[in-house]
Structure 1
Amino acid sequence: MTQNTLVDKTFRDNDGKIVIAQMPNLPLIVWIVSSLLTLIFTSGKINTALDVVAIGSLFTWAWLELFQGVNYFRRALGLAVLISLIVFKSIYSY
């Protein structure tokens, strides 16, 4: 039986397993694929659409991690990605 320490809450899930990384879920897969496709389609409407899809899917992933992450680490990761995405897009908007 695991204790309820801060370290346990930070890195363990409800089953007591340490969870730092997980298999990618759909929003993360969509982000990876659309981001890679922006390297192929470097300009035009397709690039713009792919960029919007990439940003939206990464935002969705971060939001889900923030509110449904299996432990505090995953929730903090979601928050960090969400803040980074907002800051990056605020600075480098076009």
Structure 2
Amino acid sequence: MDPREAELSEDVTAGTGTGADDSVLLFVGGPLDGRVEIRAARHGEPLPTVTHVHLHDGPKVVHRYDLEPLTDGVGVYNLRPPVRRPARDESIAD
């Protein structure tokens, strides 16, 4: 075979550094929107929830993503909606 030619393969993982048992995870929403993560099978199953903490000059911002498995080895982490806590009404005396 000519060294300048590449051999074609049906194996979609060939040359990508991923194995057949690895997981492909997509993040939807929030600061990680559109990020794709390949989780190696040696790390175990994907976590059911991922927490992303953003630190900057102001208060820290926390986002939580919940896993929605689609098929074997493929899942989507959806941004969890923020928890709304009722504001305390200061006009009412205790």
Higher strand share: 2
Q: TM-score range by the shorter chain?
A: under 0.3
Using structure 1 for the length normalisation, give the TM-score: 0.25
Using structure 2 for the length normalisation, give the TM-score: 0.25
For the pair shown, which has the larger CA radius of gyration, 1 or 2? Answer: 2
Higher helix share: 1
Higher RCO (CA 8 Å, separation ≥ 6 residues): 1
